[in-house]
A = this chain, B = another copy of it.
């Protein structure tokens, strides 16, 4: 197939490489022309703008957006809308909130355009070598674009989840699980780190990656990280988050679902962004008030 790719960051760039390797054609655009030029060297058709990108696609067109979630998606949609025709397929491969995807799908359906929400997992490596795709939207439209997922995914690594929003919903929950799994692994290593034993963490991650119940890609990545920096002395434990974990907790709250572990994983990330906390000050002040327990002064 020949498809258009809008957004050539780490993920979009790698997806195009993946497509080309599988014999697909890609018309590519990014506001920064550099990655498009590099991809041209691999056989992609770089477009100078969205008009040119759309003009270079056969009808019915397939356009894949791989841009940051939020207003940028709406802005790209607004720019594409006048250029697309009924029957075209527009894919949002980013981490949009599933409710926004449902709303966008309805808006585009009024123009006869099939909006597909596609959650993409497997990291930058997966995007290039074979990732995991969770797909929501019209079933007919899915079947038309299925060949690209068959090729870009690892074996059995794509799934049509059903109606609009289901792809991004699955990706959101996937990331929520990821938060919990990462925190669980990290807590384990912290316990090792505070024990009297002097473990080689790379070796521990390696043995846990081979034959254990907790083996999996995250454990392999832990081994990879420890192989570069055995005690992670070069980095600080600042844990950013990009939204899907928070959305999972919010969704759990809305649905009355139990998600204590995912929620705690998120709070520990928030906590890591602060060097001091107001709640800590309050507790310290209270202990001082009732028991005369010493406080640590700010100047100390």
- Which residues of A line the B interface, CB within 8 A? 10, 121-126, 130-134, 153-159, 161-163, 165-166, 169-170, 173-174, 176-195, 197-199, 203-204, 206-219, 221-222, 224-226, 229, 232-240, 246, 248-253, 255-298, 300
Contacts and interface: CB of A to CB of B under 8 A. Distances in A.
Nearest to A183: B261
A182 to B, nearest CB: 5
Contact of A154 (B166, B210, B269): B210
Given A178-B214, A211-B131, A10 B296 contact: no
Given A236-B300, A259-B190, A211 B295 contact: no
A265 B184 CA distance: 10
Contacts of A288: 225, 235
A267 B258 CA distance: 6
Judged by DSSP, the binding face of A is helix
Contacts of A255: 191, 194-195
Contact of A246 (B153, B253, B280): B253
Given A194-B257, A238-B295, A261-B264, A213 B208 contact: no
Nearest to A246: B253
26 contacts: A122-B211, A122-B212, A124-B290, A134-B207, A154-B211, A156-B210, A162-B197, A162-B198, A180-B185, A181-B185, A182-B283, A182-B286, A191-B257, A216-B216, A216-B218, A221-B286, A221-B290, A222-B282, A236-B284, A236-B298, A249-B253, A259-B267, A260-B260, A260-B267, A263-B267, A271-B271
A237 B279 contact: yes
Contacts of A179: 184
B285 A153 contact: no
A176 B191 contact: yes
Given A188-B174, A188-B177, A281-B237, A194 B256 contact: yes
A253 B250 contact: yes
B264 A222 contact: no
A238 B297 CA distance: 9
Closest 5 CB pairs of A and B: A216-B216, A237-B280, A180-B184, A132-B211, A157-B211
Contacts of A134: 207
